[in-house]
Amino acid sequence: MAATATAAQQAGKHALPPLPYDYGALEPYIDSQTMQIHHGKHHQAYVNNLNAALDKHPELHQQTLEQLLRGINGIADDIRIAVRNNGGGHHNHSLFWTIMAPPGKGGGEPTGTLADAIKKTFGDFAKFKEQLASAATTRFGSGWAWLALAGGKLEIFSTANQDSPLMDGKVPVLGLDVWEHAYYLKYQNRRPDYVAAWWNVVNWPAVATRFEATR
């Protein structure tokens, strides 16, 4: 997989990033089969479809994924929706894998400046969790719940489909995938149970690093 990614990057194309842990590493909260299909099939398809769209305007292969998403409204009409859906999907999932970690390493609460900012913005960590869970469970259909920085301030909201906060000039710090493909094999229609379980695999040090870097 590493050799393939390198070849794709040399060609200026987007590539599927390897998972930073095994498929089964997030058990029992996220099952191995879901991770395998989610990363190997869904995320790979977003990457493939993004590259196929950009092939119609090869100069866009020179832009970073973040540039493409921030500038989504200026992308050529014939591929804008494809870049929105598949570029968004690629960026969202690339972020998602890195802000999770096996139980034990993941879970718990943030520390440091991120913990301070969460407390200042939302009152306390429990209220933050409640608000994010609410954004996740009330998103109708497919989408994401986010903790993002907007004008230097933390915000919680959700987006539809694969829309990224970058498309609205915001910087994603933490994202929770609430597409059915993210949980249906294990949780079926019980999205709230998936959301509750997910807290056990949040990689707070990684989220804090993102927060520090984007602030």
Please give the full DSSP string across 34-90, using - where no structure is assigned. HHHHIIIIIIHHHHHHHHHHHTTSGGGGGS-HHHHHHTGGGS-HHHHHHIIIIIHHH
- Point out the residue whose Cβ comes nearest to Mn ion: 177
Nearest one of 100, 194, 184, 92 to 146, comparing CA atoms: 92
Q: Report in angstroms how near the CB of residue 158 gets to Mn ion at its nearest.
A: 14
Burial letters for 116-125: b for 16+ Cβ neighbours within 10 Å, e otherwise? Answer: ebbeeebeee
Q: Report in angstroms how near the CB of residue 162 gets to Mn ion at its nearest.
A: 8
Q: Report in angstroms how near the CB of residue 36 gets to Mn ion at its nearest.
A: 13
Q: Report in angstroms how near the CB of residue 43 gets to Mn ion at its nearest.
A: 7
> Which residue's CB is nearer to Mn ion, number 90 or number 210?
90
Which residue of 29, 144, 179, 183 would you call a contact of Mn ion, by CB under 5 A?
A: 179
Identify the three-state secondary structure at position 154. Answer: strand
Number of residues that bind Mn ion (CB under 5 A): 3
Q: Report in angstroms how near the CB of residue 177 gets to Mn ion at its nearest.
A: 4
> Which residue's CB is nearer to Mn ion, number 157 or number 184?
184
Burial letters for 129-162: b for 16+ Cβ neighbours within 10 Å, e otherwise? Answer: bebbbebbeebeeebbbbbbbeeeebebbbbeeb
Which stretch in 58-66, 76-84, 154-162, 181-189 sits in contact with Mn ion by CB under 5 A?
Answer: 181-189
Site residues (CB under 5 A) for Mn ion, limited to 119-178: 177
Residues in contact with Mn ion by the rule CB under 5 A = 177, 179, 182
